[in-house]
């Protein structure tokens, strides 16, 4: 998670599982230590998704949350019974 497009990010605490050779499932950690940090990081506007291709080349996809994404996160936090944290 990043504060800006060209800023170095901070990783979320999560677990990923390979479902098929090209499909992965990721879930956020719910531990008492990781949950507050993850919630705070999810408030940031940018996501970096690191990829490693089968030929070992690497890429990063950078996504901006935007207004619609921010509303979606607000709704999710509400459903989870959390107030969306503010940095």
Total domains present in the chain: 1
pTM, two decimals, is 0.79
Q: Is residue 64 situated within a structural domain?
A: yes
Neighbours of 41 (CB within 10 A): 19
Establish if 84 belongs to a structural domain: no
DSSP 3: S
Where on the phi/psi map is residue 75: left (φ > 0), alpha (ψ -120 to 50), or beta?
A: alpha
Q: Cβ neighbours of residue 5 under 8 Å, at least 6 residues apart?
A: 46, 62, 64
Distance CA 30, CA 22 (A): 26
Which tens digit of pLDDT belongs to each residue from 13-32?
Answer: 999 999 998 899 999 998 99
Residue 23: inside a domain: yes
41-72 confidence digits (pLDDT tens): 999 999 999 988 889 999 999 999 999 999 99
Q: What are the structure tokens assigned to 82, written together?
A: 């959390």
**29/32 Cα distance (integer angstroms):** 9
**In the structure, what pLDDT confidence band is assigned to residue 76 with cuts at 50, 70 and 90?**
confident
Asked if residue 9 is part of any domain, the answer here is no
Is 20 contained in some domain?
yes
Residue 24 lies in a domain: yes
Q: What is the DSSP letter of 85?
A: P
Q: Is residue 7 part of a domain?
A: no
Residue-number span of the structural domain to which 23 is assigned: 14-79
Residue 38 maps to a domain:
yes
């Amino acid at each position: 998670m990043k504060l800006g497009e060209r800023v170095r990010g901070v990783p979320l605490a999560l677990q990923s599982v390979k479902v098929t050779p090209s499909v992965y499932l990721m879930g956020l950690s719910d531990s008492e230590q990781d949950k507050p940090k993850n919630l705070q990081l999810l408030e940031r506007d940018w996501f970096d998704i690191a990829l490693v291709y089968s030929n070992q080349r690497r890429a990063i996809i950078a996504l901006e949350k935007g207004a619609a994404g921010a509303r979606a996160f607000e709704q999710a936090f509400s459903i989870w019974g959390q107030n969306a944290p503010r940095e």
